[in-house]
Amino acid sequence: MASLNVGNLGEYLREQRRNAQLSLRQLADAAGVSNPYLSQIERGLRKPSADILQQLAKALRISAETLYVQAGILDERDQEGLELRAAILADTAINEKQKQVLLQIYESFRKENGSVDEDQPKAPVPPRKRVAKKAAKKAVTVLKPRTTGGSGDDAAAAG
With a cut of 80, say whether residue 130 has pLDDT above it. no
Average pLDDT over the chain, rounded to whole? 75
For 4, 33, 74, 119, 122, the CA distances from 88, given in Å and listed in that order, are 30, 26, 19, 24, 18
Q: Pick 83 or 153 by higher pLDDT.
A: 83
Given a cut of 50, is residue 128 above it in pLDDT?
Answer: no
Backbone angles phi, psi at 125, to 5 degrees: -105, 115
Query: Residue 95 carries which side chain, given as an amino acid letter?
Result: N
Question: Which is nearest to 49 in space by CA: 142, 147, 123?
Answer: 123
Quick one: pLDDT at residue 36?
96
